[in-house]
Each structure stands twice: as structure tokens, then as C-alpha cells.
Structure 1
Amino acid sequence: MLEVELKVRVPGLDPVRERLLALSAEFCGKAHEHDIYYNAPHRDFGKTDEAVRVRYTNDHAVVTYKGPKIRKFGLKAREELNFSVESGETFEKMLDRLGFTKTLEVNKWRENYRLGRASIALDQVEELGTFAEIEIITEDDRENPTPVIEKIAKDIGADGTPILESYLELVLIQRNGDR
């Protein structure tokens, strides 16, 4: 499965939300997401451009592996594998016992919308500000969803410069003063 995504910084969420609703996008809920990222003992995910994350949303925990970014279709694309765990805390202990180390925690407040095949997230990210993400997941890596994603971005007023970095990378950049 390939996740193709456009992420842009937006000055505020209200105008984007209004345009989404005017397009009859389906509101799918909102939640606080607390993400804990880990690095592996056998390779440096910062160098391999991979990520392992435990995400807590309400009383639910999901583990995610993200493969290296692929510069495909002019947007960010990467393999993403997800599975739910009964206890995120127990899974974190297991990672610790296996030698994984905590890299960073990211907090965001996310509103989720659906418009056709696209998932749209409006994010308020601690330390970073407000963003819109538009993504389409495709099973066929030859399918190019970029035109659909770019049209939605334009229609909702989120057609700024694409950000290829993850929130993890953006927080690290912010803290290190690299930008």
C-alpha cells in the first residue's frame, strides 16, 4: 500500500474547514493524537528515512511503520504499515526491551474529513502551527493520484508549497534551529 500525500502550512484552519464543508466533505471526527517515535538499535531511522511510531488517540493505540519517502508523482509517497495494539504501553516496553530508543513525541489536534477517495486532515501541531494534509492511499504504485490531490488542495485553499518533511522531522528542525 502506498500513501501519497500533500502537506501544506496554512495560516488558519477556519477558512479551509469552511471550503471543505462547502464541497460537501464528510466530517469524520476530531481527536488529540499523541505520537511517540522510536529509533532502531540496528539502524538509524534518521539516516534510512524510516519511522516507527506508537500513536495514542483517545483510548486507542496504533503502531505504524513508515518506509523511506519516495519522490513519486511530485508529492511525498511512502509505504505505510499500521496495526492496532491492545496496550500501547506494553508495546512500548517491548520496543525498549528490544533496544529501540524514544526519539521524540509529537502532539497534534486533528480534524478528519473525507472527500471522494481522499482523506483530509486539518492539524494543529504543538510547536509547529497549522497544516492541511490531503492523502490518497493506492494499492497500485503505478496509479498517479497527484491531479486529484492537487485539485482538492486548490479547491480548499491549501495549495501552498508542499512540505515533504514529516511532523517528526519538522519538530527536530524547529528545535535544532535549522530553518
Structure 2
Amino acid sequence: MLEVEAKFAVRDPGEVRARLDRQGVHMARRQQEHDIYYNAPHRDFAKTDEALRVRYDDAGVTVTYKGPKIRVGSAKAREEFNLAVASGETLEAILSRLGFRRAASVSKTREFYEMGDVTVTLDDVEGLGTFIEIEILTESDREDAARRIGVTAKGLGVDGPPIYTSYLEMLVSKQK
């Protein structure tokens, strides 16, 4: 499965919420997310543009592998695999025993809005600010997904350049 998404900084999240409301789109849920990123003992994920993440949120614990980013117009696409796990602590112990090391963590409050197969999130990321992500999961048609994401962004009044770096990359860069 490919995750195609575009991310933008948001100056006024209230205005984005109002535009969503005017389109009849209401918040599906809000949750806290705490993400712990790992680096592999056999390669540097920062160099290979991959990510291994353990996410703790209101629904439970999920481990995610993300492949290298692919630019698709003003969006980016990544191969993504997600697996729910019963115990994050056990998973973290296994990763540690296998030589994986914690690289960084990201915490955010995320609001979800669903527009058919388009997911819009408003993210308040600790240490970074507020962002909107517009995402479509697709098997293959990443160009059409990117086009539809652009149309959605325009309809929500989102302007400014898209951000291609992940929250993890932004936090690591800020800490340097």
C-alpha cells in the first residue's frame, strides 16, 4: 500500500476547521500520539530515507515501517506497512535485543477528518507547531492521488509550500 500525502504549515487551525465545517466535514476523532523512532543496526535509516516507528495512541500500539519517500507533484508517496501489537513494551524490548536503537520521539495531538477516501489531519506537534496533512492510501495510482490531494488543499484554503520532510526530520534538524 502506498501512502500519498501532502503536509503544510497552518497559521490558523480555526480557519481550516471552519472550512471543513462549511463543506460538511466534521472531526471524526482526536487523539494523542507518541511515536518512538528506531534506527537499525545494519543500516542508517536517515541515509536510506526509511522509518521504523512504534506509535502509542488512544487505540493501542502500532509498529510501522515506511519506505523511502517518492515525490509525486506537490505530494510525497511512501510504501507503508502497519501492524497492531498487543504490547509496545515487549516490542521495544525485542527491538533492543536485536540491536535497534531509539533515534527520537515525536508527540502530537491529531484531529482526524474523513472526506471519502481522503483523510485530513490537523496536527499540533510538540516543539514544531500546527500542520495539516492530506492523505490518500492507494495501491498504485499515486499521480491521481496527488492531484486529488492538491484539489482538497485548495478547497481548504491551504497555501504555502508543501513540506516534504517528516516531523521526525524537522525535530532532528531543529535540535542540531
Q: Contact (CA 8 Å) 1:26, 1:115: kept in 2 or not? A: no
The answer as to whether partners of 1:112 and 1:120 remain within 8 angstroms in 2 is yes
Q: In 2, are the aligned partners of 1:2 and 1:78 still within 8 Å (CA)? A: yes
Partner Cα distance (1:114, 1:46) in 2: 31
Note the C-alpha offset of 1:74: 3.6
User: For 1:76-134, what per-residue CA distance to the aligned partner results, in whole angstroms no more than 9, with x for missing partners?
Assistant: 11001001000011100100000000000100000000112200000000000000000
TM-score, normalisation: structure 1: 0.94
Question: Residue 155 of structure 1 aligns with which residue?
Answer: 155
Distance 1:59 1:145, change over 3 A: closer
Q: How does 1:1-179 map to 2 (within 5 A)?
A: 1-58=1-58, 60-141=60-141, 143-176=143-176
Q: How much has 1:62 moved relative to structure 2?
A: 0.5
In structure 1, the residue corresponding to 2:144 is in which secondary structure?
A: coil
Using the TM superposition, give the Cα deviation of residue 142 of structure 1 relative to its aligned residue in structure 2, in angstroms.
5.5
TM-score, normalised to structure 2, is 0.96
Percent of residue pairs bearing the same amino acid type: 53
Q: What stretches of structure 2 of length at least 5 have no aligned partner?
A: none
Kept in 2: contact 1:29–1:113 (CA 8 A):
yes
Equivalent position SS for 1:145: helix
Paired residues of 1:61 and 1:88 also in contact (CA < 8 A) = yes
The runs of 5 or more residues in structure 1 that have no matched partner are none
Answer whether contact 1:24 1:115 (CA < 8 A) is retained.
Answer: no
- Runs of 4+ aligned residues of structure 1 deviating over 3 Å after TM superposition are none
Per the alignment, in what secondary structure is the counterpart of residue 144 of structure 1?
A: helix
- Give the Cα separation in 1 of the matches to 2:163 and 2:142: 22
Query: Could you tell me which amino acid in structure 1 is paired with residue 6 of structure 2?
Result: L
Q: Which amino acid aligns with 1:115?
A: M
Aligned equivalents of 1:66, 1:141: Cα separation in 2: 18
Q: Deviations over 1:17-73 (max 9, x none)?
A: 111111112421000100000000000000000000000002500000000001124
